[in-house]
Structure 1
Amino acid sequence: MIGNISSGFETLRKLGGAVLLSAGLVGLASPGLAQTYPARNITFVVGYAAGGTGDVIARLVAQKLSESLGKSVVVENRAGASGGIAASGVARAEPDGHTILVGQSAEIAINPHLLKGLNYNPDKDLMPISLGAVVPLGLVVPGKTPYSTLAELVAGAKSSQKGLSYATAGAGTPSHFAGELLKLKTQSNLTHVPYKGAGPALNDILGGHVDMYFSGLPAAMPNVRSGNMKLLAVSSEKRSASAPDVPTVAEAINAPGFDITLWIGFFAPRGTPNEIVTRLNEEINKILVQPDIKERLLSEGADVTPMSVEQFSIFVKTESEKYAQVAKQTGLKAE
């Protein structure tokens, strides 16, 4: 059974006081380095095509971080290998805080348990900086589809000889887990169609080339509001505040325990000075709680929970352990 990735938030919050004190002491060790950083422009690397949830959050934070640090923060999309191309590239970058991975669940917590021959190790090659957001996945279908509920969609998949297709942001991503879990729970005929990120997948939903997609809500909601897509259900344990009338998958198909969400976080190459990591953590956390940013993310269904470096490190470790168990239980393998 897939656990709720937000279940550990209370524990992490309770750790907050001691952890933040520790982070502050680390920052005091060499104040000069943090004060002279950055020396040049910073690059945020996103492992998926433009238009996905991670890309949306990266660009929101990049704009604000440019203002606070006084240097440009450029977002670069390096799609492929379920975020692995971007992750391996950042892992080999100079550890000076000027190349940052805007990582997601797949390349950090899932790939190591599904893909053989990875040329990076998230635990050894990357340093957690800060959690950006946690978002439910929304099951979206083309606006002109005949299905208006998840029950109708499942019935259509079962009645069609060829079944239905479901898009994902790549093999082994949370959208892949969600699609396979839906297939298992409903015993439906669903065919996986992987893309290099949410943007291309959403484009093919809009074009009617694929039947459905578990998308991060921030990336999908504009098209849902415009009527170009229908939102049939959300993948989280609880309903989303941004779409309170939309049922959870667990509700819609009577599948207790159906709870998969997507998270986005910031990572530096291993060896980056702790002073710089702490500075970035503090600056990003300040941005996330700014009223305009927080309101934007919350309105799109994202859960904003700023964490210290140590808290986020614990979160990442817990997520990796969870997906290792899920992969073993489901037998899911990347294609």
Structure 2
Amino acid sequence: MNRKADAEGSGAGAVHVGRRHFLTTGCAAVLLAAGQRSALAAQAYPAHSVNVIVPYAPGGQGDLFARVLSDPLGKLLKQTVIVENRPGATGMLGTRYIVREKPDGLNLLLGQTGEIAIIPLANKKAGYDPLKDLAPIALVGDSPLVMITSAKSPFKSVQELIALAAGKPKQVAYASSGTATPGHLAAAALALGTHCDMIHVPYKGAGQAMTDVISGQVGFFFSSASAAMGHIKSGSVKALAVASTRRMPALPDVPTIDETVLKGFSYSLWGGYFAPAATPAPIIGQLNRDINELLATLAIRTRFEADGAVVKANTPEQFTEFVRAEALKYRDLLKTTGITIG
């Protein structure tokens, strides 16, 4: 009986071990096949030209990033990279377009602060959630906003402007390129932090805002560095401060708001590449490596830094955390100020 039981036990054990071996081997085979498919997908990418959507009209910072990188990125990918401007609804139209595209890495978004970190929070009709509907690939550049005023303005410093605004409510007006844009929220944060009551004058775009700032129609404007730099150099406007905790290398003599009137003040216009959610990790990884390789080249880095952008290597995970932190910052500001769109 014992020998029979032992024999039966041995047989059952052998069958059990055999099943474990089969399952282990089967799982390994499935994982290997999945890995091979991912590798093949990455090797085959891109099968044809890559389209990069800029959700604004030509000429802005995001457009600059996309166009400077398009040809060299195409050479690394061995395919043509086409930049397409799809402006409208403060960046929402172009962003929605990418969200609905196939997650194959052939349609990308050059997304910026507004449509990624602000609009989905300020507008209930945005129609997308950046952290759910998009896959961050790489941050290209992060450029602090520059507080500018007319060359004719009596203000010689941000301290003088804030002193007047604090003492005379609603005497100082500021321009923005639209409600809930980065420039508007930076000015609202400055007013909130310095306990000033200032008038917001929204325009339909940065061009119109810049025109009235130059003429002295409004007191100041938080402009992108790329849009402000030419006017600063020509002398039509003067830079009062930089919205950062560190001075901008392109404007070393211009103080920061952090060092003058409000500690920790930091608002910027940044831009980076995004793909539709569910884009395969090997494709995201390849694009991230290629973009970082280009950002490390002297010519491209120098070009972007000349417009005030901070350029540094980053992973998709780091860029995702950056986007999440920006969204949290603006969520709290929007809640405190009550600023909304629509």
Structure-2-length-normalised TM-score: 0.79
* 1:199 Cα offset (Å): 4.8
Instruction: Tell me which residue corresponds to 2:258.
Output: 250
Instruction: Tell me which residue corresponds to 1:286.
Output: 293
Instruction: Tell me which residue corresponds to 2:15.
Output: none
* 1:232 Cα offset (Å): 1.0
Instruction: Tell me which residue corresponds to 1:267.
Output: 274
Aligned: 1:131 with 2:139: yes
- 1:116 and 1:61 mapped to 2: Cα distance? 33
Indicate the RMSD between aligned Cα atoms, in angstroms.
2.8
* 1:103 Cα offset (Å): 0.9
Instruction: Tell me which residue corresponds to 1:323.
Output: 330
* 1:153 Cα offset (Å): 3.6
Secondary structure of 2:313's aligned partner: coil
Instruction: Tell me which residue corresponds to 2:9.
Output: none
- 2:70 and 2:58 mapped to 1: Cα distance? 14
In structure 2, the CA distance between the partners of 1:183 and 1:318, relative to structure 1 (3 Å rule), is: closer
1:32 alignment partner, one of 29, 40, 44: 40
Contact preservation (8 Å) 2:98, 2:276: yes
Q: Greater relative contact order (Cα 8 A, min sep 6): structure 1 or 2?
A: 1
* Structure 1 residues without counterparts, runs of 5 or longer: 1-25
- 2:40 and 2:245 mapped to 1: Cα distance? 45
Aligned: 1:58 with 2:63: no
Q: How many residues align?
A: 309
Contact preservation (8 Å) 1:47, 1:86: yes
- 2:35 and 2:137 mapped to 1: Cα distance? 13
Instruction: Tell me which residue corresponds to 1:13.
Output: none
C-alpha offsets along residues 195-229 of structure 1, whole Å, 9 cap, x if unaligned? 45545544554565544221222332122122232
Secondary structure of 1:58's aligned partner: helix
- Stretch of structure 1 that moved more, 302-311 or 206-215: 206-215
In structure 2, the CA distance between the partners of 1:50 and 1:146, relative to structure 1 (3 Å rule), is: farther
- Stretch of structure 1 that moved more, 314-323 or 261-270: 314-323
* 1:136 Cα offset (Å): 0.8
Aligned: 1:312 with 2:328: no
Give the partner amino acid of 2:306. S
C-alpha offsets along residues 240-275 of structure 1, whole Å, 9 cap, x if unaligned? 1221211112333x2223222222111111232222
Contact preservation (8 Å) 1:109, 1:320: yes
Contact preservation (8 Å) 1:27, 1:275: no
Listed as ranges, the matches of 1:1-335 within 5 Å are: 30-154=38-162, 163-195=171-203, 197-206=205-214, 210-252=218-260, 254-334=261-341
Instruction: Tell me which residue corresponds to 1:10.
Output: none
- Stretch of structure 1 that moved more, 73-82 or 232-241: 73-82
Contact preservation (8 Å) 2:189, 2:333: no
Secondary structure of 2:328's aligned partner: helix
Structure-1-length-normalised TM-score: 0.81
- 2:176 and 2:81 mapped to 1: Cα distance? 28
In structure 2, the CA distance between the partners of 1:107 and 1:240, relative to structure 1 (3 Å rule), is: same
- 1:331 and 1:161 mapped to 2: Cα distance? 19
C-alpha offsets along residues 131-176 of structure 1, whole Å, 9 cap, x if unaligned? 1111111012233444332234446657889734423243222212
Q: Name the structure where helix makes up a greater proportion of residues.
A: 2
* 1:281 Cα offset (Å): 1.0
* Structure 2 residues without counterparts, runs of 5 or longer: 1-33
Secondary structure of 1:237's aligned partner: coil
Contact preservation (8 Å) 2:148, 2:239: yes
**Which structure: larger Rg?**
2
* 1:95 Cα offset (Å): 2.2
- Stretch of structure 1 that moved more, 155-164 or 189-198: 155-164
Give the partner amino acid of 1:301. G
Give the partner amino acid of 2:299. D
- Stretch of structure 1 that moved more, 277-286 or 219-228: 219-228
Q: Matched residues, percent identical?
A: 42
C-alpha offsets along residues 28-82 of structure 1, whole Å, 9 cap, x if unaligned? 7633322332233322222233322222222222232133223332322333333
Give the partner amino acid of 2:309. A
